[in-house]
Amino acid sequence: MSGVIALVVSVEALGQVSAGIRVAGSDLLKGRCAAVLQKSAAKIPGGLELTLDGSLMAEKYLRLGRVDAALLVIAHGQQAKVPEIASGEWVALPIGFQSAVLVVNQLNRLEQMDFEMIAGIYGEFQVTDVRHWSKVEGSGLEMPVFAFMARSADGLSVPLFRSSVLRGGEFRRETAFRNSSSEVEAEVSANINAIGCLSMPPVQGRVRVLALAREKGASAYLPTPENLYNGDYLLAVPAYLVFPVRNRARLDMLLPVLFGADMAQALTESNFTPAPKNIRENYIRGLDKKK
């Protein structure tokens, strides 16, 4: 996944104070995120011009110097493939994370799964074929598996799951798709033999969230904000605020908005898990300047 989602912050750079900030970006940030950004316009000299229609060209514009910063979704470990990030010319600060989260019924004793076992439940023609909970060590169940998945419109969970777990393969025909994560959560809560994939961790404890491991015997991690930030949880894609080091001072008016409590709530409502609170507070205080 290249720099496919971008929130671009543009400032006139002609050796004088900007007349305002122009913001463009992904339609995933419409709604609450857009409202938070628009609310901040009164605090920014010259105001804020906001466009959230999709920004595939954001990385290119940043490279050409047409904008001062961009918010790019870049898969964990792929930052090094952006030359300017790898060289230290650009700074990348994580704002939030889109993820795919596996959950089971509370009466299911299972606490963790590895990718091969998950693929055996959801995918066609996988190494392992899992249609019954008796094949899943630790579940304590003796019944068929019912698999549910939230549709792509509810976030990036489907393409992320398909590329990482199914290795680009097809979903099993028996996989039941629902229109939202809340519908999948309700199905799993009501059916002891169900497993579901959500677009972010559930707020309430109606279902059990599974820790994930890449392979059997490897360390498994839950999708906590800390594990997402550290890159330990495997089914996640971060959104980074990316900008040249020389532009850091220009963003002082914007950082409290992007890393503040209102934006964190807006990100949550847009299927992003915000970066950990202490990390966001450090960015607002400017502690990233040492990086």
Say which CATH architecture domain 6-98+236-290 belongs to. 3-Layer(aba) Sandwich (3.40)
**Domain positions in the chain:** 6-98+236-290, 101-230
Q: How many angstroms separate the CA atoms of 24 and 19, rounded?
A: 17
Pick 30 or 138 by higher pLDDT: 138
- Per the DSSP assignment, residues forming a β-bridge with 104 are 195, 208
Strand pairing report for 21-24 and 6-10: antiparallel
Q: How many angstroms separate the CA atoms of 283 and 62, rounded?
A: 21
| Single-letter code of the amino acid located at 190 | A
The pLDDT of residue 104: 98
Burial letters 184-209, b for 16+ CB under 10 A, else e: bbbbbbebebbbbbbbbbbeeeebbb
Mean local confidence (pLDDT), 226-234: 95
Instruction: Of 87, 86, 89, 91, give the one whose Cα is nearest residue 72.
Output: 91
Using the predicted structure, report yes or no on whether residue 55 has a pLDDT greater than 80: no
Determine how many CB atoms are found less than 10 A away from the CB of residue 173: 6
Q: Is 197 helix (H, G, I), strand (E, B) or coil?
A: strand
At 63, the pLDDT band (50, 70, 90 cuts) reads: confident
Mean local confidence (pLDDT), 38-63: 75
Q: How many angstroms separate the CA atoms of 237 and 91, rounded?
A: 17
* Predicted confidence (pLDDT) per residue in 105-155, tens digit: 999 999 999 999 999 999 998 988 999 999 999 999 999 999 999 987 657
Domain 6-98+236-290 and domain 101-230 have a common topology: yes
For domain 101-230, the CATH superfamily is Periplasmic binding protein-like II (3.40.190.10)
Structure pTM?
A: 0.86
Torsion of CA 112, 114, 116, 120, to 10 degrees: 20
Pick 96 or 59 by higher pLDDT: 96
Instruction: Of 44, 122, 93, 100, give the one whose Cα is nearest residue 239.
Output: 93
* DSSP secondary structure letter of residue 276: P
Q: How many angstroms separate the CA atoms of 260 and 116, rounded?
A: 38
